[in-house]
């Protein structure tokens, strides 16, 4: 995957160092949430911490001669220290400035009307007055209380400072606005810079951290989509692969509920219902049972009125609600046995019918046997009469048998 620099204003050295770490396989710490990528090189998280960033600033006339970053509002106890060292020169100088990001934002440091600059001027005047009055020399502290926080500053560095030097700014309390900090090289030679920063917390925590941007939608081809995991880089993947991965990441039977940055999964349970066992009321509602009960009632109580009264159930009618009562378990068992016996009657009738058919077939066979015997007797008589005719000299016409020819 190609290395993409997060910002245009990022110095080349910073971008190259980040890309080299990524190419070498070094782990890149992610501060932004998933779905975002780290656009700026310095991002402060809500839980507090510390960090550092090294770079090389070009000459003051070049675009790469400055480095800027932003710190979000509601950041507590911010401390910034900038260590500088001239390269290929004995002299160097730099400036540190800060101002609110709002339109026409308040200048805190860097101009003559800045809060810390005005404080330094006032302290210098007080020190000069004390010096003229032969009092002890007082070093200006460059400190001011503004917007509920205590601001302090190291002061500017001389124009041609020899050797390494440092600039620092500290805030005890809460930032009242989004602040943009800027470090500028004030000389023609290159300057090695090491920015170190720390803070206690950001409260309340914003949904989108300062320096994090949403995953881009116009950086990949039409058939691809950008995927961001909170690192300074995004990856272009096929849409089908991303959709398949999202389906696999969501386990079946679970519903995700997203609130801010927190995601909780609520498993769903499948409930099965078992059939309810039959009760006496269910048996009483059966039409066959009701018909048997009506027959029993008509036999046992023939003197009941003939006018039936309809009930709530269409299969049950009672003649008089005063005489209607539920049968006992013994009567109900007898009724059920009678019903089972009535179910066995068709089988008995079938067996009797089969026996009758068998007897009829046997009688027919016996009669046919007697008839055949009578026919055989008649044929025997006729054969004996033929023999008698031969004995008396009466010949019958010759008929060849089995192909024998007559003698001539």
Residues 287 and 201 in one domain: no
195: its two tokens: 């920015």
Flag whether 3 is in a domain: no
Of the three residues 155, 189, 210, the one that is the final residue of a domain is 210
Flag whether 16 is in a domain: no
Flag whether 217 is in a domain: no
- CB atoms under 10 Å from CB of 83, counted, come to 16
Calculate ∠ Cα 89-92-94, nearest 5°: 150
Predicted confidence pLDDT, tens digits, the chain (408 residues): 444 454 444 445 445 555 555 444 455 567 899 899 999 999 999 999 999 999 999 988 788 899 999 999 999 999 999 999 998 877 888 999 999 998 778 888 887 677 887 765 555 544 444 444 454 444 456 788 888 999 998 888 877 778 899 999 999 999 999 999 999 998 888 999 999 999 999 999 999 999 999 999 888 988 899 999 999 988 898 988 778 777 766 554 444 444 444 444 444 334 444 445 555 566 566 676 677 777 766 655 555 444 444 444 444 444 444 444 545 555 555 555 555 555 555 666 778 788 888 888 877 787 766 655 555 554 544 544 554 444 444 444 444 444 444 444
pLDDT of residue 82: 95
Residues 204 and 307 in one domain: no
Residues 49 and 187 in one domain: yes
Flag whether 68 is in a domain: yes
Q: Collapsing DSSP states into helix, strand and coil, what is residue 390?
A: helix
- CB atoms under 10 Å from CB of 384, counted, come to 9
Q: State phi, psi for 338 to the nearest 5 degrees.
A: -60, -40
406: its two tokens: 């007559």
pLDDT of residue 19: 54
Question: How far is the CA of 223 from the CAs of 98, 190, 217, 229, 338, in angstroms?
Answer: 44, 45, 12, 20, 78
Flag whether 52 is in a domain: yes
- How many structural domains are present in the chain? 2
3 state SS for 310-350: ECCCCCCEECCCCCCCCCCHHHHHHHHHHHHHHHHHHHHHH
pTM over 0.75: no
pLDDT of residue 398: 44
What is the separation of C-alpha 195 from the centre of its chain, rounded to a whole number of angstroms? 42
183: its two tokens: 């470090």
Q: HSE of 129 in the Cβ direction (CA atoms, 13 Å)?
A: 6
Residues 152 and 51 in one domain: yes
Of the three residues 162, 195, 210, the one that is the final residue of a domain is 210
Flag whether 246 is in a domain: no
Is-contact 321 307, C-beta < 8 A?
Answer: no
Question: How far is the CA of 42 from the CAs of 27, 32, 191, 379, in angstroms?
Answer: 16, 11, 20, 132
pLDDT of residue 297: 64
CATH code: domain of residue 68:
2.60.120.380
10: its two tokens: 């990022």
Is-contact 40 6, C-beta < 8 A?
Answer: yes
Structural domain containing residue 123: 44-210
Is-contact 188 61, C-beta < 8 A?
Answer: yes
Flag whether 256 is in a domain: no
Flag whether 251 is in a domain: no
Q: Any idea of the CA torsion for 50, 161, 95, 42, to the nearest 10 degrees?
A: -30
């Amino acid at each position: 995957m190609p290395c993409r620099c997060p910002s245009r204003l990022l110095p080349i050295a910073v971008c190259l160092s980040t890309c080299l770490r990524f190419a070498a396989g070094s782990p890149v710490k992610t501060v932004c949430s998933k779905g975002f990528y780290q656009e700026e090189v310095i991002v402060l998280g809500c839980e507090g911490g510390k960090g550092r960033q090294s770079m090389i600033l070009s000459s003051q006339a070049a675009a790469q001669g400055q480095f800027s970053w932003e710190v979000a509002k509601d950041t507590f106890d911010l401390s910034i220290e900038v260590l500088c060292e001239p390269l290929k020169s004995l002299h160097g100088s730099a400036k540190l400035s800060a101002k609110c990001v709002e339109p026409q934002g308040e200048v805190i440091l860097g101009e003559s009307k800045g809060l810390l600059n005005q404080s330094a001027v006032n302290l210098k005047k007080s020190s000069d007055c004390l010096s003229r009055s032969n009092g002890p020399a007082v070093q200006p502290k460059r400190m001011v209380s503004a917007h509920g926080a205590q601001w302090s500053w190291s002061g500017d560095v001389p124009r041609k400072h020899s050797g390494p030097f440092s600039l620092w700014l500290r805030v005890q309390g809460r930032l009242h606005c989004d602040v943009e900090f800027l470090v500028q090289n004030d000389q023609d030679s290159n300057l090695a810079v090491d920015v170190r920063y720390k803070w206690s917390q950001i409260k309340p925590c914003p949904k989108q951290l300062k320096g994090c941007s949403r995953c881009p939608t116009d950086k990949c081809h039409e058939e691809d989509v950008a995927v961001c995991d909170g690192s300074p880089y995004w990856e272009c993947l096929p849409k089908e692969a991303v959709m398949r991965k999202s389906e696999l990441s969501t386990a079946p039977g679970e519903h995700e509920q997203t609130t801010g940055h927190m995601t909780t999964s609520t498993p769903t349970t499948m409930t099965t219902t078992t059939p309810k066992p039959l009760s006496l009321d269910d048996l009483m509602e059966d039409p066959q049972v009701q018909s048997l009960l009506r027959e029993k009632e008509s036999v046992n109580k023939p003197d009941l009125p003939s006018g039936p009264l309809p009930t709530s159930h269409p299969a049950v009618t009672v003649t008089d609600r005063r005489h209607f009562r539920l049968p006992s378990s013994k009567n109900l068992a007898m009724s059920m046995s009678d019903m089972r016996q009535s179910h066995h009657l068709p089988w008995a009738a079938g067996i009797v019918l089969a026996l009758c058919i068998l007897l009829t077939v046997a009688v027919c066979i016996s009669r046919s046997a007697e008839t055949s015997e009578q026919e055989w007797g008649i044929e025997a008589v006729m054969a004996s009469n033929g023999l008698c005719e031969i004995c008396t000299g009466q010949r019958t016409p010759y008929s060849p048998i089995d192909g024998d020819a007559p003698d001539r």
